[in-house]
Structure 1
Amino acid sequence: METPTQRLWTNLWWPCQQKTLLAEEKGMQAGIINMKERLANGTTGFHEAIKKHHSKSFADLYKTKVSTTQSVEKTIKADRKLLKRLLNVVIAGRAVENFFLGNIPTIKRWRKERGYFMAKNLEEWTRQYGNTYVIFLLLNPYVFTLDPDSIKELAVSGKHGKPIDICQTFGDLYGQRFIGHGLVSEPNDKIWARRRLIFNPAFKRRYLRHVINHFNEIGDQLLLKFEKMADDKMAHDLSDIFHRATLDVIGKIGFDKNLCGLTEEKSPFLYAIRTSVDGLSKKLSDPLLEHKFWQERAFKNKVRQACHMMRDSGRKWLEERREAMMRGDNVPEDVLSLIIHCQDISPDTMTLDEILDDMVTFIVAGQETTANAISFVFLELARRPDVVAKLREEIDRVLEGRTHVEFEDLAKFVYMTMVIKETLRLYPPVTFIFKQLRHDAIIDGYRVPEGTKAMISTFVAGRNPNLHPRPLEFMPERFESGYKQRPSMYAYFPFSLGARSCIGQNFAQIEMKIFIAKLLQRYSVKLDPEYKFELIEITTLKPNGGVPCLVSHRM
């Protein structure tokens, strides 16, 4: 079956460079293959593109008009935008079902029929088309790759940036500013680097060592929650509890605020985060929803109110902290203080809206991703008593009966670190990363033009049998030092890669380790026998239906 692209361009032949092979560099000239012969042989997407010797970039490519019975008549310089639109001429990929929507109909159909989310689509297409292929979202081609050198080029080299339109998608929700141009959504690398420098001290070892008591205090509140659930023979959703605990952690350590996640059943901030994340997820799954003003108006209003509530709270916190500092009160050196100090030194560094962008980013990202990660840890522990036994042996040996976890204890939790890494390999909260080429680049041997968007996925990489032996098995030992097939940095990157890697990764791992140590010291968990495990992606990856568990005291 011909793709819309084939039907549109059956009278054209594009001598695009398919592979920058060594043989080509040595002077091999590629021949011209007749259009009818290729179609008769079942070639789709014009994948047998003519290899053009000495082509240095896509700007050098030429289009050749071909009749169905004759060979080349004429060549003229190709239009770069059209070449991007016809990337599936060069690179294998899913046949485009709709000229304007691209592969979105497939994505929607698979979500309905198979329960697939985007990362599962990418995993399926990787099985079909290999490590590198093209898909279309609306009129935009996206090059997906698992090739290690290409991942290095895209994410580590610093040569390519974030797509502006993707950043704008996260910036506001249905007309209300959400995370705006925060650290996650700022496309300008120079602006991002300046702001990252401002916040780095709040996530360094020195500060995290200083606030270790706060991690422990909220861990102790979590223990009280588990104590109420223990031995009542009822299933409790641990995911909900971890979302509440991580909210309290980011509120206390980042802003010296009690957000009442563990103490109030209807925490306003927890509701606001969940509502805004749901709104973002719907916007991502249906890019046109924002423009359909007549659809889901009540839901959109709730999302706007949630975003406004978080930003308005941040504004009040800033005013309160500044007043406290002017009075000479003793205030913590947290994110709020860093922002105010920076403004005092250089008032033009950040606007109020930009400050609120980063505050909302820290709250939402710091709570949502860590909560999902630790939920997956306990999901695996609830069905793996052998892993729990090894963890408890390590926890008992390191803590020696203490319930307070010191900063120096964290590095001694070696097996626990492997368990966390293995969990993140299988269940990374953020499943893929977008990049946009700032210049022509070689992606897995293909020359791809400037401006093209690219995708890489730690979810797909983490489950790929070519990168991990027995990829669907939970094997913490694969991260053990000296393990022969230990995952490389390009096969495992749950916190992203390069300069744009997650600023809060050390923060999150400290939080998870303290919660795991405290809970396993006292309690055991077992999955509800009626629970059916499924993955779902609502902006971030999470277990569908939470993690319902029976909690009991440790024997």
Structure 2
Amino acid sequence: MIIIYLLIILVTVCILHFIFNHNEAARILKKIPGPKDVFLVGNAGDINVDPVALFKLRNKYAKEFNGIYRIWIYPLGIVNIYNPEDIEIVTSTNKHSDKSIIYKFLKPWLNDGLLVSKGTKWHERRKILTPTFHFNILRQFCTIMEENSSRLVNKLDTVLGQPVDVTPIITEYTLSTICETAMGTQLNKETTECGKSYKEAIYAVGDVLVNRFTNLRYYSDTYFNLSSLGRKQKKHLKTVHYFTKKVIEERKKLVTETNITETEDESVYMFKKKRRTAMLDLLIAAQRDGLIDQAGVQEEVDTFMFEGHDTTAVGLIFFLMVLANRKDIQDKIVAELKEIFGDSQKNITIEDLSKMRYLECCIKESLRLYPPVHFISRNISETVKLSNYTVPAGTICHIHIYDLHRQENLFENPLEFIPERFLPEKCIGRHPYAYIPFSAGPRNCIGQRFAIYEMKSFVAAILRNYKLMPVTRPEDIEFVSDIVLRSNGPVYVQFEKRVDSV
């Protein structure tokens, strides 16, 4: 009997191997350079490593190959690109705009929200949500950012002169900001406690997703849902969804209790008492008009709560670390702030944020070296040429933003922090797809201007009051593979009161 089982296994393996090597798409894709694959399973063993080792492996491949390489995880073919010419081909139109199979792993969390959805649904939702980030709405949001920055400054006064893990401080700030702006809900004592659990659950879900992505057996929803990993995800998503549902309920309650009128722009609804428009208000109004259902509201709130707080927090964490290690950069930003504010302690307006040109260059340079969304993934919808190689339809295409931004042929001294490279005159001639921290093309980040304003407001408030002293250094950072760029351990900065406050 054992011999029969072994023969069955052997025959099955041989059949699969035959199919694999005689599949036309597989043969075409194998012409692209890539790491050596193992009989039948391809490169599955290479990527089945811990998150730190996986990120290092990616860096190794990026140096070994020239802007493109392929990976086999039988039966999946993956092409990895990190050169602007190929990225433009894939992202500049809607032809390859559908997200790849790996985004299905986000479905239990984000369902079919803007990040994951496609086609008509994506277009309709984008149209509903775009007014949230109109300039006049962002002007109102700046007031909220300023209020949160003031609360942050008061908190930092209690930890002066000692190394501080900036991650929890910054994530609390960005979570409060996205709740009060896009969701129109200020965190009270109860929701603040839920918010802490929410942030912890987000990190845990990220760990689950990486584990699932690197283990082929978890690609099956049935197997995954029955596994301990699946049960872990279900537990943490319950916490995540409880928090976002609470935010929706509180805003809906306020909407029913408050008189609402429409502005001249019919898609934007304003509160008479507080002239601040929230993204959630648009969703509630759209639900009232039959343009979206309750599940649709939930999935968009889940999407924006995550993308709106976690990615910005990651960007700020690494930016503060860089500034703490570069006194010369700090001094230049402070000099610019003095030009704008003089000796006054006046609140920051949106006009003030627009004047912070050098600070914006610094933010862009930090996002180049430390892009929060370090990779995106698309499905190749039809056969296409990338780097003169034929890539067949159905191939997964990973776009490695982190590796793109560190290409020597695109950025001189790419590992050095040089904000001046983003001065307008320095950007002339640079490939438009060489720098894409907010993705690119039709599916670029809807909230990128909001994120830049939030980062400016945060850093300006910090540097008007504190000097940043180095603790964690750039060379200390060890990245882990996750849905956003994360450090394997805390990032510490020391704050000292600025005597000559701006």
| TM-score in same-fold range (> 0.5) | yes
Instruction: Report the AA paired with residue 283 of structure 1.
Output: R
Instruction: Report the AA paired with residue 472 of structure 1.
Output: L
Preserved CA contact (<8 Å) 1:437 1:451: yes
Of 59, 70, 75 in structure 2, the residue corresponding to residue 139 of structure 1 is 75
Preserved CA contact (<8 Å) 2:181 2:277: no
1:168 CA drift (Å)? 1.6
Alignment match, 2:456 = 513
User: CA 1:311–1:518 in structure 2 vs 1: closer, same or farther (change >3 Å)?
Assistant: closer
Report the 3-state secondary structure (helix = DSSP H, G, I; strand = E; otherwise coil) of the residue aligned with 2:496. strand
1:322 CA drift (Å)? 4.4
Alignment match, 1:48 = none
Report the 3-state secondary structure (helix = DSSP H, G, I; strand = E; otherwise coil) of the residue aligned with 2:124. helix
Instruction: Report the AA paired with residue 132 of structure 1.
Output: I
Of 303, 311, 316 in structure 2, the residue corresponding to residue 361 of structure 1 is 303
Alignment match, 2:256 = 323
Report the 3-state secondary structure (helix = DSSP H, G, I; strand = E; otherwise coil) of the residue aligned with 1:94. coil
State which drifts further: 405-414 or 366-375: 405-414
1:165 CA drift (Å)? 2.4
Alignment match, 2:287 = 343
Q: Which has the higher contact order (CA 8 A, sep 6+)?
A: 2
Distance in structure 2 (CA, Å) of the matches to 1:298 and 1:143: 31
1:311 CA drift (Å)? 4.5
Distance in structure 1 (CA, Å) of the matches to 2:143 and 2:121: 34
TM-score in terms of structure 2 length: 0.85
Preserved CA contact (<8 Å) 1:272 1:310: no
Alignment match, 2:93 = 157
Alignment match, 2:126 = 196
Preserved CA contact (<8 Å) 2:28 2:390: no
Q: After the TM superposition, which residues 41-190 of structure 1 pair with which residues of structure 2 at under 5 Å, given as runs?
A: 82-97=23-38, 99-100=40-41, 102-109=42-49, 111=50, 115-118=52-55, 120-163=56-99, 165-172=101-108, 178-186=109-117, 188-190=118-120
Q: Deviations over 1:390-432 (max 9, x none)?
A: 1110111112233411111112111111111111111101111
State which drifts further: 273-282 or 320-329: 320-329
Q: After the TM superposition, which residues 495-510 of structure 1 pair with which residues of structure 2 at under 5 Å, given as runs?
A: 495-510=438-453
1:301 CA drift (Å)? 4.4
Alignment match, 1:541 = 485
Instruction: Report the AA paired with residue 406 of structure 1.
Output: T
Distance in structure 2 (CA, Å) of the matches to 1:412 and 1:537: 36
Preserved CA contact (<8 Å) 2:410 2:434: yes
Distance in structure 1 (CA, Å) of the matches to 2:427 and 2:259: 58
Alignment match, 2:7 = none
Aligned alpha-carbon RMSD (Å)? 2.9
Of 326, 346, 351 in structure 2, the residue corresponding to residue 408 of structure 1 is 351
TM-score in terms of structure 1 length: 0.78
Alignment match, 1:420 = 363
1:300 CA drift (Å)? 3.3
Alignment match, 1:455 = 398
Distance in structure 2 (CA, Å) of the matches to 1:181 and 1:408: 36
Instruction: Please tell me whether residue 475 in structure 1 is matched to residue 415 in structure 2.
Output: no
Alignment match, 1:381 = 323
1:321 CA drift (Å)? 4.0
Preserved CA contact (<8 Å) 1:141 1:453: yes
State which drifts further: 121-130 or 506-515: 121-130
Alignment match, 1:57 = none
Q: Deviations over 1:316-345 (max 9, x none)?
A: 235414422579974642112111222233
Instruction: Please tell me whether residue 215 in structure 1 is matched to residue 148 in structure 2.
Output: no
Instruction: Report the AA paired with residue 241 of structure 1.
Output: I
State which drifts further: 143-152 or 326-335: 326-335
User: CA 1:297–1:335 in structure 2 vs 1: closer, same or farther (change >3 Å)?
Assistant: closer
Of 166, 175, 199 in structure 2, the residue corresponding to residue 270 of structure 1 is 199
User: CA 1:95–1:299 in structure 2 vs 1: closer, same or farther (change >3 Å)?
Assistant: same
Report the 3-state secondary structure (helix = DSSP H, G, I; strand = E; otherwise coil) of the residue aligned with 1:525. strand
State which drifts further: 158-167 or 249-258: 158-167
Distance in structure 1 (CA, Å) of the matches to 2:387 and 2:440: 18
Sequence identity, in percent? 25
Preserved CA contact (<8 Å) 2:201 2:237: no
Alignment match, 1:205 = 135
Distance in structure 2 (CA, Å) of the matches to 1:149 and 1:297: 39
Preserved CA contact (<8 Å) 1:134 1:143: yes
Distance in structure 1 (CA, Å) of the matches to 2:379 and 2:231: 35
Distance in structure 2 (CA, Å) of the matches to 1:486 and 1:260: 49
User: CA 1:122–1:278 in structure 2 vs 1: closer, same or farther (change >3 Å)?
Assistant: closer
Preserved CA contact (<8 Å) 2:284 2:297: no
Q: Deviations over 1:353-379 (max 9, x none)?
A: 121000011111111000000111101
Alignment match, 2:173 = 245
Preserved CA contact (<8 Å) 2:178 2:305: yes
Distance in structure 2 (CA, Å) of the matches to 1:297 and 1:492: 36
User: CA 1:486–1:549 in structure 2 vs 1: closer, same or farther (change >3 Å)?
Assistant: farther
User: CA 1:154–1:327 in structure 2 vs 1: closer, same or farther (change >3 Å)?
Assistant: closer
Alignment match, 1:436 = 379
Preserved CA contact (<8 Å) 1:479 1:486: no
Alignment match, 1:394 = 336
Of 389, 405, 420 in structure 2, the residue corresponding to residue 446 of structure 1 is 389
Distance in structure 2 (CA, Å) of the matches to 1:487 and 1:122: 25
User: CA 1:225–1:443 in structure 2 vs 1: closer, same or farther (change >3 Å)?
Assistant: same
Instruction: Report the AA paired with residue 92 of structure 2.
Output: V
Distance in structure 2 (CA, Å) of the matches to 1:266 and 1:198: 26
State which drifts further: 393-402 or 293-302: 293-302
Preserved CA contact (<8 Å) 1:240 1:546: no
1:445 CA drift (Å)? 1.4
Higher helix share: 2
User: CA 1:272–1:202 in structure 2 vs 1: closer, same or farther (change >3 Å)?
Assistant: same
Preserved CA contact (<8 Å) 1:403 1:518: no
For structure 2, the 5+ residue unaligned runs are 1-12, 262-270
For structure 1, the 5+ residue unaligned runs are 13-78, 173-177
Q: After the TM superposition, which residues 9-28 of structure 1 pair with which residues of structure 2 at under 5 Å, given as runs?
A: none
